Structures are given as C-alpha cells and as structure tokens.
Chains A and B, each alone.
Chain A
Amino acid sequence: MTPATTPTTRASAGPVPVPAALALGDDALVLAHRLGEWAGSAPVLEEEVALANIALDLLGQARTLLSLVGDEDELAYLREERAFRNVQLVERPNGDFAHTIARQLYFSAYQYLLYARLAEGDGPFAPLAAKAVKEVAYHLDHAEHWTLRLGDGTPESHERMRRALDALWRYTDELFRPVEGLDGVDPAALREAWTDRVGGTLRQATLELPTGPASDAWTAGGGRQGVHTEPFGRMLAEMQHLHRSHPGASW
C-alpha cells in the first residue's frame, strides 16, 4: 500500500470525523479480510473469484476511508483489538458457505442503503460513497442470488441457510445504532428499508426473517465501542502478524 495512490479529493473542507471514518473503514477492512479467507477453499472457482473481487472492493473502500484520518497501514496493522470500530457482524467467522452469504446479505443491504444516503450529501464521505454504492449494488445482488439459490434449493441448503440467518440475526441490531460524525445520517432511519429489502429476498427464497432478538441481552457494548467477539482477536493476529513481525517490509 503506497500513500501515493490514496484518493486526495474531498467533497468539502474541514476535518473528517474520526469515529465515523473508523466505523465505515473498519467494517470494510474486516469484512474484506474475512472474505479473503475463502481464497483457496471456496466451493467452486467462479465463487472464489467472486468473493475475492468483493473483498478487493471492500479493501479499496477501507484504504480510502482510513487514509482520510491517518496512515492506512498504521491503522490497519498496528491498532489493538479494542481500537477497532467495526460492527461485530463483519468479524463473525466465515462458517459454512451459507453463513458467509447470510453475513453478506445482511451487511451489503445495510452498506448499500447507508452509502446511498451518504452519497446524497456533501460531507467528507460523499465522494467515496457515491463511488462505492455502485460496487456494493453488485455485492448485494450476488448475496441475494445466492440466498435464492440456497433457500429455494435442496432441503439441506434451505436448512443451512435458515440456520445461518438465525445465527447472525443477533448481530443485526448494531447496524442501526448511531455513529458519531456520519454526515447527519442516522443509521436507525435505514432499518425499515433494510428490513423490507432483506425480508423481501428471504420470502422469495422460501425463508423468513428470523424472529429472535436482534442483539444479545448480555452484551457489554458493541463493535462500535471497541467491544468485539472472541474470534476477532484471532483474525486480527493473523491479519497483523506479517506487518508486526517485519515492520516496513514491502514486496
């Protein structure tokens, strides 16, 4: 990663709010890493390529967002777990393919709505959002098509998709909690459109929106406050290991 290639234009002058840049940037970075874990083990070659491409889009978004508020490499590789501000949903392990698709469906639907709103404004995130919303439309399309195939596929694929949707549902409430400095966009305002979009896809796929709690009653906080689930530490250790072992190494 070289600073020379990070975008330099902003829609408006003025400082970029750090909490919002980290929230959006970390969501993209962490999910990019998780999707990258499929490289070499996806069910079919085309799917491996697709997941890697989605990961690459997200990595590009993360680089742009993190570069708005600091050095992208330092932020990605030298922060401790508690300093990351991504939602817990994106750090959840890949699980089986259905879990990966369910996670992507929940997240891409949210990211698509959020970026569409940010793109309408003239804040510091508008240029990136206007660019990325087009990419995320393809991510969402990909997740929706797989949801249809798995949900309306065999009894086995239907059951696995249902289990994945249920297991990840408890991480969805966090998507709609407020983020400081988000160009005046309140994520809570996206919930209705999100529920319509995801619910519509699930009905078509002969599935249903899960009915359990959308957050855990016992949670001490959420990813936006730096509180993460246990598998995140291991993911971070793997992601940061090379940079920390060989500071300044390059290709």
Chain B
Amino acid sequence: MVTGSVPPPRAAGRPTPLEERLRALAGAVPDPELPVISLEELGVLRDLRVTAPGRVEVDLTPTYTGCPAVEAMSADIERALHAEGVADVEVRTVLSPPWTTDAISAEGRRKLAEHGVAPPRPSGPGGPVPVQLAIRCPHCGSTDTTLLSRFSSTACKALRRCDACREPFDHFKELH
C-alpha cells in the first residue's frame, strides 16, 4: 500500500523504491491484444513517477499512432495501481522518442514466438525495405515462409504463410 507520508524525492532522476515497485506492477499488465506479453516486455511503458502522496504519473508510448489498444492499456494500468492503493493515476501518452520493435525485450520475443507470432527482426536498414533475414515459422521453425499481406489482424503485424507446414501465421513486423 502507498503510505500517506511524503515520498522521498528522486535522487538524480533515479526511481525511488516505491516507484520501482509500482512500475513493476504497471509493467506486469498484459498487452490487451497479445496477452502473452506484458507492457514492460513490449517496451511501451516509458516512465512512472510518484508526484505526490497517492498520486502517480505514468508515461506510455503507442506502438502505432492509431493503436486502439492504448485506451485499454491506460485503463488496465490505472486499475492495477488503484488496487495497490494509489488514489490518483494519470496515464499520459508520449510520442518521443518513437517506439520501435527493438524496444521489445528478449523475453517478450521468446513469448511471442511461443504464442505463434513470429517476433520482429533486429534493426536493419529500416522501413519496409526487406531486411534479408529469414522469418522463421513459429509453428515448425522453417525459414521457408512467404508474405501474404503487409497488414494483418493489427497494424503492427503482417500475415505470412509457412511453405513447409502450410500454416499461416502473424509476424510482428519491424518498425525501426
């Protein structure tokens, strides 16, 4: 629980123990569209500040400008922090610096693959210019896969098919 005492100020921008604990809670909130991965693993949680007793500001960055999941993420973070006794939670959406798929943690990538979503490849030349690294089928592991559509169930994914096991799958497409 958050106590009524005045929180100690941050030393040189370092989060306080309370902030670290609350950030872990907010970061553990699952992504509303890909619940296997947490917001911390997705890399969209930018900062959490205790600005006054019982008052917290959270900085969240969208994967895509129009990502409709941002509203659900904000509500889920607020709920998680309210449950911990924080009375006043403000979730702010920040754009700078822009989110990239490199912000997805190694653990997040592993979970995506386990869930049947091919994780994004690491930074290359950038943009939709094909980076010549194979995209592996999350079902059978074959690198023999074909792009079906650049846009899939959400803006952040592309639709591919495995030419070995013939299964279609989502690929979390690169944004660098």
Contacts and interface: CB of A to CB of B under 8 A. Distances in A.
A interacts with B = yes
A141 B70 CA distance: 26
B44 to A, nearest CB: 13
A54 interface: yes
B119 interface: no
Contacts of A239: none
A150 to B, nearest CB: 16
Majority DSSP secondary structure for residues of A touching B? helix
A142 B150 contact: yes
Given A5-B70, A53-B155, A134-B98, A61 B93 contact: no
Given A127-B95, A130-B96, A46 B127 contact: no
Contacts of B128: 137-138, 141
A64 B96 contact: no
Interface residues of B, number: 33
B154 A53 contact: yes
B97 A130 contact: yes
B94 A142 contact: no
Contacts of A142: 150-151
Interface in A53-67: 53-54, 56-61, 63-64
Contacts of B153: 49
A8 interface: yes
Interface in B105-134: 127-128
Given A60-B66, A128-B95, A50 B127 contact: no
6 contacts: A7-B92, A8-B93, A50-B150, A131-B96, A134-B127, A134-B175
